[in-house]
Amino acid sequence: MEVAVYNIKGEDTGRKVTLNDNVFAIEPNEHVVYLAVKQYLANQRQGTHKSKERSEVSGSTRKLHKQKGGGGARIGDINSPLLRGGGRVFGPRPRDYRFKLNKKVKQLARRSALSAKAQDNQIIVVEDFTFEAPKTKDFLNFAKNIKTADKRMLLVLSAQDKNVYLSARNLPNVQIITASDLNTYKILDNKSLVLSESSVAVINEF
The confidence score (pLDDT) of residue 33 equals: 97
- How far does CA 73 lie from the centroid of its chain? 51
The confidence score (pLDDT) of residue 1 equals: 84
The residues of the chain scoring below 50 in pLDDT are none
Helices (H), 86-135: 103-119
Instruction: Select from 3.40.1370.10, 3.10.290.20, 3.30.70.260, 3.40.50.510 the CATH code of 2-46+99-203.
Output: 3.40.1370.10
Which residues make beta-bridge pairs with 85? Answer: none
The confidence score (pLDDT) of residue 206 equals: 85
Q: For residues 74-102, b (16+ Cβ closer than 10 Å) or e, as one string?
A: eeeebbbeeeeebbeeeeeeeeeeeeeee
State the span(s) of the chain assigned CATH 3.40.1370.10: 2-46+99-203
DSSP state of 13: E
Residue 194 in contact with residue 146, Cβ under 8 Å?
Answer: yes
Sign of the CA dihedral running 206, 108, 2, 174: negative
The confidence score (pLDDT) of residue 149 equals: 87
